[in-house]
């Protein structure tokens, strides 16, 4: 089977860049309207958001890839198909609806982190993990990265109602759930294709 890359919804990305540009303009108006510190802050934050999302429009990178070996998120590692027990939707507080996968065991994914090390996004995620979840300190068989990833997966499962690895639904094409399920079924049951 071929590897299938799933990219972010380009219409959402364009809307995000336009919204950031609008807020950056508001920052400029605040700056010249007598609030230079607040205006500068608003301008810098939203220009940075527009630049980051704009770079994704110019040079898109997949959110994840469907490979014969498993689902490969851009944060690093590969979740083996046999370990993915559910593909579905959940809620993440004010962030809204998310789409993702629940793993029956973390061991295959954790082992894959050695062969597929985290990308830049995965390293940033490891830093933020320390603020939202406490890494497991009692398992001597895991390295620091694996402990942080277990903490993040556990935190994600608790916050989303059962999903270990997830993406905001608004970022994904509407057919993502169906696409993941069909690919998984084709890999696990090749005769049924």
Q: What number of residues does the chain have?
A: 193
Based on the domain organization, do 54 and 68 belong to the same domain? no
Question: Residue range 59-72: average pLDDT?
Answer: 91
- Say whether pLDDT at 189 is over 90: no
Cα distance between residue 17 and residue 55, in whole Å: 10
- For residue 128, pLDDT beyond 60: no
Whether pLDDT at 49 is above 50: yes
- Write down the pLDDT at residue 146: 79
* Structure confidence at residue 139 (pLDDT): 67
The token duo for 118 is 């985290």
pLDDT of residue 45 exceeding 90? yes
Within-domain flag for 3 = no
Of 87, 97, 90, the closest CA to residue 66 belongs to: 87
Domain extent at residue 40? 8-58
Q: 146-170: per-residue pLDDT in tens?
A: 788 888 888 889 899 899 999 888 8
Say yes or no to pLDDT of 133 above 80: no
The per-residue pLDDT for 81 is 95
With cut-offs at 50, 70 and 90, classify the pLDDT of residue 136: low
One domain for residues 53 and 97: no
Same domain, 14 and 86: no
| Secondary structure element (H or E) that encloses residue 153, with its range | helix 144-160
Same domain, 54 and 104: no
pLDDT over 70 at 116, yes or no: no
pLDDT, residue 180, reads 92
What pLDDT is recorded for position 131? 47
Q: What is the pLDDT of residue 17?
A: 94
Across residues 38-45, what is the average pLDDT?
95
1 falls within a domain? no
C-alpha–C-alpha distance, residues 114 and 96, integer Å: 32
Based on the fold, state whether residues 176 and 115 are members of the same structural domain.
Answer: yes
Average pLDDT score, the chain = 84
Number of domains comprising the chain: 2
């Amino acid at each position: 089977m071929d590897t299938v890359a799933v990219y972010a919804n380009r219409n959402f990305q364009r809307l995000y860049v336009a919204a950031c540009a609008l807020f950056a303009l508001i920052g400029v108006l605040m700056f010249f309207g007598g609030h230079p510190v607040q205006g500068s802050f608003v301008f810098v934050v939203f220009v940075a958001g527009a630049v980051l999302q704009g770079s994704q429009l110019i040079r898109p990178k997949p959110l994840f890839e469907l490979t014969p070996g498993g689902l490969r998120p851009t944060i690093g590692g590969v979740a083996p198909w046999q370990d993915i027990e559910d593909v579905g939707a959940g809620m993440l507080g004010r962030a809204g609806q998310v789409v993702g996968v629940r793993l029956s065991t973390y061991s295959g994914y954790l082992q894959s982190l050695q062969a597929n090390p985290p990308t830049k996004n995965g390293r940033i995620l490891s830093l933020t993990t320390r603020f939202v979840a406490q890494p497991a300190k009692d398992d001597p068989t895991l390295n620091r990265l694996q402990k942080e990833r277990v903490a993040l997966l556990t935190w994600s499962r608790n916050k989303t109602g059962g999903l270990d690895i997830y993406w905001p639904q608004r970022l994904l094409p509407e057919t993502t759930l169906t696409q993941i399920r069909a690919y998984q079924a084709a890999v696990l049951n090749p005769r049924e294709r």
